[in-house]
Amino acid sequence: MPASIEARNLGKRFGEVHAVQEVSFEVHPGEIVGLLGPNGAGKTTTLRMLAGLLAPTAGEAFINQHSVQKEPLLARRALGFLTGDMDLYRRLTPVELLAYFGQLYEVPQPELQRRIDELVEAFGIGEFKDKHCEKLSTGQKQRVSIARTLVHDPAVVVLDEPTTGLDIMASEFILQFIRRMAKENGKAVIFSTHHLDEVERLCDRVVIIHKGRLQHHGDIDSALAATHQARLADAFFEMVQF
Amino acid sequence: MRTSIITTIFRKEILEVLRDKRTLYLVILLPFFLYPALFFLIGKVGQSQAGKMQQEKVTVLIDPALEQTPVPALIGSDPSFVVKVQAFDSQALAEEKTTIGIRVEGDYAAGLAANESVILRITGDFSKDLLDGRKQSITGLLNKLNQSLLEERLQGVKLPPTFAQPLLIQEEDLAKPSQRIGKVLGAYAPMLLMLFIFTGCIYIAIDITAGEKERRTLQTLFTTPVNVREIIAGKFLAVACVGLASALMNLFSLVFAVLLQAKLMGGNVSAISLAVSAQGWVWMITLIVLSTVFLAALSMAVSLLANSYKESQSYVSPLMMLVLIPAVMAQMPGMELTMTTALVPVLNICLAIGAIFKGAFSLPAMGLVVFFALLYGLLALYLASLIFGNENVVTGEKVSWKLLRRGV
């Protein structure tokens, strides 16, 4: 089965600083891959290159077999992207926001309405769907953000720290949704987080980046075996200790 | 470029503007009420001040040497003066707020009898508005006395009154009232128009560029399958529309305020007309649209350099100077539309609009201005798209000129 996400020797240099060097990995349909690394490791830069927000200075990225650099619009059409850096339009309601992004992805009108209804139902947005986004709580905003990421039913979903700032109930809701999205709907998901317990529960494989370089790419058991540790957290610390 | 995508972005931007009460108030509603309110207020305050000054009594101290002359009675004929014939110290009058002195140098009667000029000196602190105004009243009264004395002298030597006035200068202005209005409008309207368009554009441009960077919504837009030119086009249309709406609102409000003021002051409002032909209006609308294109694109390009709303506001004043200086230059005497001035952005449009108001424009000159205005508008748009395509803008960071030069 062809990979839905492929990073091929990706590199990014900002002046003299190498933020990311020779990072390669793949994510297949139905897989959830955890992207791990300490702050400043190069996770966000890698994700931004996958989304076409940053141009790599080396290597290439593919989304649904489309080169992010050469076919950016086709690649982005297949991608749902959410990072902690993104916020909602303050003066739009959640439904207006979903409709706006649906139109930008050129989802046909009858299908868009059906999709919005589904997402409003799935994320429990109905109770605040007519409120302006600036009046929503952090948890409500995050639900709308994820719904926005999925409005065009993308084959690939990239989520950068989607549970940050959320309480345990909201976090659990989102984790369950990510699992269903991958396992029931066959989406390829990259999930970046600092919560290693979430990774253990959710991810099929992990990609660990440190100082811009790939430290590990494989399933959780292989990470434990490589470091002779019993817990992912200990394995992670050992890999990023130098 | 897909028009459906551009329309979607444009509609969303306008919807957000219409929902932002602060923007709506500052850009659309405030201008509508500002000028009538200001003109009304200034008129009322002015009237009230003038009334107060008129009612205030001023004491006129008259040199006792003038007691037997017509001067005390003449000044006393104006009820706003209290006449006192008494000696006074000129230096002491400098401290007085409501007192003026009139002194004669030499002998009044002897001077007149000898057909000499008698000097009457009016003394007071004329930096004070009240005393300055009353000095003019006193001068007017004394001029009347002077005229009657002159006539007496001429009669004495059997000469007609015209003897002392060999030339009687009269003016005949062939300009129609509409041309006179055109001259005034041509001088001031283009500058105000540029100012209104700019202020309308810059506010919304900051909100949807630097404001979006600060609010972290711009990155989301760049992850969608929309290219930079479509984003620029949608946002640019919104900025231009709000700029134009704001300018028109300002203009209507200003015209309404001027007409209202003219009516309140008893002027014949229906006699006010413009000398602008139908062709002139077409040129004028074209120039207004082109200047909006230029100023909207320039506002966006400059706002994009900032990372936050606050930072972008620090760019407003220098940019305002860049717009205002050529607009003010257009008002200078002798400044006309030539091959050279047609090349200068803003100045060319101000001069061209001024020429249309005066009803004195030529087609080649208009064509040249339209060509260069279009060129500058497109260059500003290109600059905005170049900055917008910079990946630092995409990630909400400071724009690097180095990257910009490389086109990254």
Under DSSP, the state recorded for B107 is: -
Q: Which residues of B touch A73 (CB under 8 A)?
A: 225-227
Which residue is closest to A73 within chain B, CA to CA? B225
Summarised one tens digit per residue, pLDDT across range A176-203 is 888 988 898 899 999 898 888 888 888 9
ipTM above 0.95 for this complex: no
Tens digits of residue pLDDT in B326-350: 998 888 888 888 888 889 999 999 9
Q: Which residue of A has its CA nearest to B408?
A: A55
CATH number of A1-45+53-78+188-242: 3.40.50.300
E strand or H helix at A20: strand A17-27
Which of B17, B213, B220, B309 would best serve as a mutation to test chain A binding (most A beta carbons within 10 A)? B220
Which is nearest to A97 in space by CA: A137, A128, A54, A63? Answer: A128
B198 and B328 co-located in one domain: yes
B222 and B365 both lie in a single domain: yes
Range B205-221 average pLDDT: 86
**B64 and B30 assigned to the same domain:** no
CATH number of the domain at B121, please: 3.40.190
Task: With both helix axes pointing from N to C terminus, report the angle between A94-104 and B3-19 in degrees, rounded to the nearest 10.
Answer: 160
Task: Note whether A104 contacts B391, CB cutoff 8 Å.
Answer: no
Cβ-Cβ contacts under 8 Å for B197 (sequence gap 6 or more): B243, B244, B246, B247, B288, B291, B292, B295
- Residue B382, H or E segment: helix B363-388
Least Cα separation, residue A154 to chain B (angstroms): 11
Our count of domains for chain B comes to 2
Whether residue B186 is found in the same domain as residue B242: yes
Is B238 part of a structural domain of the chain? yes
Task: Flag the least confident range among B256-260, B264-268, B355-359.
Answer: B264-268
Strand arrangement, sheet containing B99-105: B81-85, B58-62, B99-105, B119-123
Same domain? B216 vs B267: yes
Asked if B26 and B81 sit in the same domain, the reply is: no
CB–CB contact B225 A104 (8 Å): yes
pLDDT band at B396 (very low <50, low <70, confident <90, very high): low
Cβ–Cβ below 8 Å for B9 and A104:
yes
B87 & B212 share domain: no
Count the Cβ atoms, other than its own, within 10 Å of residue A141: 19
Domain-located, residue B7: yes
* Nearest Cα to Cα of residue B345 among B319, B322, B366: B322
Chain A residue with CA closest to B16: the answer is: A91
- Judged against a pLDDT cut of 80, whether residue B405 lies above it is answered with no
CB–CB of B223 and A148 under 8 A? no
Task: Indicate whether B189 belongs to any domain.
Answer: yes
Contact B70, B85 (CB under 8 A): no
Check pLDDT > 70 for residue B268.
no
Residue B364 has pLDDT above 80, yes or no: yes
* B8 near A CB under 8 A: yes
Strand partners, A160: A192
CA atoms of A148 and B219, how far apart (whole Å):
13
What is the arithmetic mean of pLDDT over B388-395?
Answer: 76
> A86 vs B9: CB contact, 8 Å cut-off?
no
Task: For residue B166, tell me if it sits in a domain.
Answer: no
Q: Please report the pLDDT score of residue B406 as a whole number.
A: 52
- Neighbouring CB atoms inside 10 A of B32's CB total 15
Mean predicted lDDT score pLDDT of chain B: 86
pLDDT exceeds cutoff 70 at B145: yes
Distance CA A6, CA B210 (A): 33
Q: Does the structure show a pLDDT above 70 at B69?
A: yes
Which chain B residue shows the shortest CA-CA distance from A47? Answer: B223
Low-confidence ranges of chain A (pLDDT < 70): 242
CB contact, 8 Å: A13 with chain B? no
pLDDT score recorded for residue B266? 66
Average pLDDT over residues B198-215: 87
Per-residue pLDDT at B225? 94
> Looking at per-residue confidence, does B149 or B390 come out higher?
B149
Q: Report which of residues B65 and A241 the model is more confident about.
A: B65
Place of tokens 């003016």: B171
Q: What is the pLDDT, as a whole number, of residue B408? A: 43
Query: Looking at B111, B128, B161, which one is the last position of a domain?
Result: B161
Of all helices (H) and strands (E), which one includes residue B113? helix B108-113
Q: What does the alpha-carbon distance between residue B257 and residue A225 come to, in Å, rounded to a whole number?
A: 82
Quick one: pLDDT band at residue B309, thresholds 50, 70, 90?
A: confident
pLDDT band at B42 (very low <50, low <70, confident <90, very high): confident
Q: Are residues B196 and B341 in the same domain?
A: yes
Structural domain includes residue B19: yes
* Domain co-membership, B371 together with B275: yes
Q: Which of B130, B161, B192 is the last residue of a domain?
A: B161
> B372 or B262: whose pLDDT is higher?
B372
What are the residue boundaries of the structural domains of chain A, listed by start?
1-45+53-78+188-242
Distance CA A178, CA A169 (A): 14
Domain that holds residue B138: 57-161
